[in-house]
Amino acid sequence: MPLDAHALHLAIRWLHVAAMATAFGGALTVFALSARTRNAALDAALVEVALRYEFMFWLAAGVLAMTGIGNLAAFGTGLPLSRTDWGMTFVLKLGFVLGLIVLSLPRTLAIARLHRSASRPLTEALQSRLRAMYGGTGAAFAVALGLAVWLAHG
Amino acid sequence: MEWSLATFHASAFVLAIVFFLYSRDALGSALGGLNTLVGLGLFVALWGTTYLTTCRALRGLDLLREGDHLLFARRAFRWGAANGMAFLGVLGVVLIASAVFVSPTVLLPVLFVAPFALVISAVVGAVVGAVFSAIDLALLAVARAALDVR
């Protein structure tokens, strides 16, 4: 039985949105957890949650890249040119997403280092850096989401 | 660590190519000739080969320590070449499998071109691996600075 192209593209879009929700929602969750007053046990739990989020983040990033290209394939040869309004916004979004991915690797490596070091409870300065990292990630996803909504409906 | 590095490499590599092609209005024609499912499968294949080769490049190394960086860069060069050849192998199997039913005579030119394609894929993979190892080490330095507070 031939595969329905419409159903396939719908499934790819659904997967794209689900991956975005995972990465965006996870960043906000870790940010919210890092904003609480803590003790050694809560700090250890926060670092564990952040470490698990990093695994999910990279899974979501791979799925977003893969399904994002699948979404573009749905345009076929009707893909708008780069000098149109849509095209310029898309170039902006693509560059922004590339920057987000590049700047996310230091965050992941920093959490891996923090997980290895046994210093709990976290110092106020470390907590502040964690809040900044996950708050920044959440804010970056909000911008990417805004650009994606504009591209889809603008 | 292997998971995040491999996904970073595969995603950044593909997105950089998409960015380059789209900004030159060459993406539509490139995607037009590609079946969506095959495209998704090829991305998963690249992700898989990159994960396996990244695991081999990091085996026995501790990237979070200073001492292993030079060895990591050398291994990234070598395993980058292996990744390029492995991905070409997957690509070759897909292309041959889809073409052989249409025209079995396609096998002869493929056999002739294959050794040259393997060498080129190894060189491209090695260069990409070396570039990514430099980026990884630079981003590792950023990671150290990010949480280096008392």
Q: What are the pLDDT digits (tens) for A61-101?
A: 999 999 988 888 777 777 888 889 999 999 999 999 999 99
Between A61, A82, A123, which is nearest B149 by CB? Answer: A123
Give the number of domains in chain A. Answer: 1
Q: Do A91 and B135 touch (CB under 8 A)?
A: no
For an interface test with A, give the residue of B4, B131, B150 to mutate (most A CBs within 10 A).
Answer: B4
Q: Do B47 and A94 touch (CB under 8 A)?
A: no
- 3-state SS assignment for residue A40: helix
pLDDT at B31 exceeding the cut of 80 = no
Task: Give the number of other Cβ atoms within 10 Å of residue B18's Cβ.
Answer: 20
What per-residue confidence (pLDDT) applies to A76? 72
User: Which chain B positions have a beta carbon within 8 Å of A126's beta carbon?
Assistant: 147, 149
Q: Three-state SS across B26-66?
A: CHHHHHHCCCHHHHHHHHHHHHHHHHHHHHHHHCCCCCCCH
Nearest-by-CA chain A residue for B31: A73
Q: Distance of CA B13 to CAs A102, A109, B47, B127, Å?
A: 11, 19, 10, 12
What per-residue confidence (pLDDT) applies to B111? 80
Across all residues in chain B, what is the average pLDDT? 87
Which residue range(s) make up the domain with A34? 5-153
What tokens were used for B70? 């030079």
What per-residue confidence (pLDDT) applies to A95? 93
User: Which chain A positions have a beta carbon within 8 Å of B19's beta carbon?
Assistant: 91, 94-95, 98
Partner B contacted by A3 (CB < 8 A): yes
What per-residue confidence (pLDDT) applies to A63? 95
Burial of B115 (0-12, 13-18, 19+ CB in 10 A): exposed
* Span B46-63, pLDDT tens digits: 999 999 999 999 888 888
Q: Do B146 and A75 touch (CB under 8 A)?
A: no
What per-residue confidence (pLDDT) applies to B28? 76
Q: Distance of CA B67 to CAs B16, B71, B140, Å?
A: 31, 8, 13
ipTM confidence: 0.89
Is A130 in contact with B143 (CB distance < 8 Å)?
no
Q: Do B143 and A107 touch (CB under 8 A)?
A: yes
> Between B100 and B16, where is the model more confident?
B16
What per-residue confidence (pLDDT) applies to A37? 65
Query: Which A residues in the span 72-131 are in contact with B, Cβ-Cβ below 8 Å?
Result: 72-79, 81-82, 87, 90-91, 94-95, 97-98, 101-102, 104-110, 112-114, 116, 123, 125-126, 129
Nearest-by-CA chain B residue for A116: B64
Q: In sequence order, what are the residues at sequence separation of 6 or more whose Cβ sits closer than 8 angstroms to the Cβ of residue B8?
A: A58, A61, A101, A102, A104, A105, B136
Amino acid at A34: S
Name the range with the highest mean pLDDT among A30-44, A109-123, B31-45, B134-148. Answer: B134-148
What per-residue confidence (pLDDT) applies to B108? 79
Average pLDDT over residues B136-149: 85
Between A12, A98, A133, which is nearest B146 by CB? Answer: A133
What per-residue confidence (pLDDT) applies to B71? 87
pLDDT at B30 exceeding the cut of 80 = no
Q: Do B22 and A90 touch (CB under 8 A)?
A: yes
As a whole number of angstroms, the distance between CA A130 and CA B143 comes to 12
Q: Do A72 and B31 touch (CB under 8 A)?
A: yes
pLDDT beneath 70: ranges in chain A: 1-2, 37, 118-120, 154
Record the pTM: 0.89
Between B8, B19, B135, which is nearest A94 by CB? Answer: B19
What tokens were used for A128? 């502040």
Between A67, A72, A97, which is nearest B27 by CB? Answer: A72
Q: Do B4 and A54 touch (CB under 8 A)?
A: yes
pLDDT at B105 exceeding the cut of 80 = no
Partner B contacted by A35 (CB < 8 A): no
